Amino acid sequence: MVKKLIGDDLVKVVDKADRDNLVTILAWGDEVDLTDESDPKFNEIKTFSYKDVDDTNFERIEVRGLIDKKAVLKDPNELKILRTAFVDVQQGDGICIETPKGRKMLVDGGDNALFARYLAQRFIGSSKANPLIVDAMVVTHGDADHFAGLTQIQKSETHSQPRKRLFLRPKRVFHNGIVKGPSSSNGRSIPDEEILGKTEMHDNKLYLTEIIDDLLQVPAARLNKPFKEWVQAIKAWLNNGNAGDPVQIRRLQFGDDSQFSFLHDEDIQIRVLAPFTKQISGQPALPMLTQPPKQIAIEMEEDLKGTSKSYSASHTINGHSIVLQIKYGNVRFLFTGDLNQESSLELQARMQNGGLNLESEIFKVPHHGSADFSHTFIDKVKPVVSVISSGDENARKEYIHPRATIVGSLGRYSRVPRPLIFVTEMVAFFQYLGSSELKKSESSSYKAGYKYYGFKRSSFGIVHVRTDGKRLLVFTHSGKRDMKEAYAFKVDGVGEIETVKVTMK
């Protein structure tokens, strides 16, 4: 067997015994084992796919089949593909990045087990002695819908089903330095100005001065429940694999680009664009941000006139999200966490004053498509492909994400006439099951015996982006094995875009 990578955009794999039977479709950069080249029309290969095993889970299976002899197969050292998967984690963010040399970087992880399940199947076969090495784990900010799902990865180590277990060891854990404390204590609600730690007035503005570098050194009493569990997960990972190899835990701020120098040998450059700290009393500090207007108008004033003067812990922690711009060849990605309007205007101003360019082909839209955004910021990004990670799966999480205003702005301010806007919950496929009955109660709202119309998620809403630095392939799956939504572009050195035909062999 010889390891090869798929060199065409999409390649059909058919059954060896029945060549009219489609087994799966592989994509540019997928790895296969070439097992037999003797057939004049087909090559025999071994790879993997996924099968639906119950209402909520999928299992990775080995696939042996045939691909057209005309399908391009490349040696791994020839085809240098950067792979990015925006995973459907419902209400939250979960992004997995794989470099051409096989390095892994995770950006956030949702607040449930979905990201853990995806990674367990994508990187099957890990163990405590041989964990999956994650070169960088970036938590853009300390909201549970961005990091509690990473805790679920650590909890999966003891799962009763081996296919749902994942052992990993992060080399680096990056965060924005803001730690959430409990929202109440001894029956007393904690004011927003105190939830994030110590503050200090400076030039008539309130600053958060308790900025954390090493999360493991924070007293437990200072942490809310998700943070306590997150710290315990990091401590548990220290015991996986080579315990003598230290794990770097570090706060990121604007200009910390050197923390990603381990990617330079692959021509991958990462700029840390936010958050911006200010030195107060010799220590780094972040300004407390304010509550935005309750009613967001279609044409919202960009100078934030009428904004409430009430400080908001949630908007502060969102607005100071880590912002990363990744550049590989001619292709740029912008990851923005839960950036809001107030902070994005600050970022925009600083980038303009510093002569730095925010323009990016791939744009992870801030805050799941919230109404609290800046259209002038989007105009600076000029995205070609925008990805919104959202899923208001219950009434408690209903925020009307994404808002119609931001979807319209993403289209208007793109640099191409037909931009792509993906929403993870919309590219999932739900299959109607019909009249159903709940066998056991999963919440206090619905008891066993409750009758309802049932649906199952038979295809998760993952948005795949792959590039060699000059060409770009974006695709999603569907409810049909033979159907994918796929688009391809060429990107030149000055950001000019050419739409090209998707190849299918």
Which residue shows structure tokens 């095993």?
53
Reply yes or no on whether the pLDDT at 442 is more than 80: no
Q: Give per-residue pLDDT as tens, 284-342.
A: 999 999 887 665 554 555 555 445 678 999 999 999 999 999 999 999 999 999 999 99
Q: What is the DSSP string of 218-244?
A: S-GGGS-HHHHHHHHHHHHHTTSS-TT
More confident residue, 393 or 225: 225
| pLDDT above 80 (res 389) | yes
Decide if 256 contacts 213 (C-beta within 8 A): no
Terminal alpha carbon distance of the chain: 22
How would residue 443 be classed by pLDDT, with cut points 50, 70 and 90?
low
User: Measuring CA to CA, which residue among 156, 87, 139, 91 is closest to residue 115?
Assistant: 87
Query: What's the confidence (pLDDT) of residue 473?
Result: 98
| Cα 20 to Cα 66, 67, 126, 248, 318, distances in angstroms | 11, 12, 36, 52, 51
Span 134-165, pLDDT tens digits? 999 999 999 999 999 999 999 999 999 998 99
- The model carries a pTM of 0.95
Residue 192 to residue 183: CA distance in whole angstroms: 8
- Largest interatomic CA distance in the chain: 78
Lowest mean pLDDT of 14-18, 305-309, 489-493, name the range: 305-309
Whether the predicted pLDDT of 55 surpasses 70: no
19 vs 319: CA distance, rounded Å: 54
Higher-confidence residue of 420 and 398: namely 420
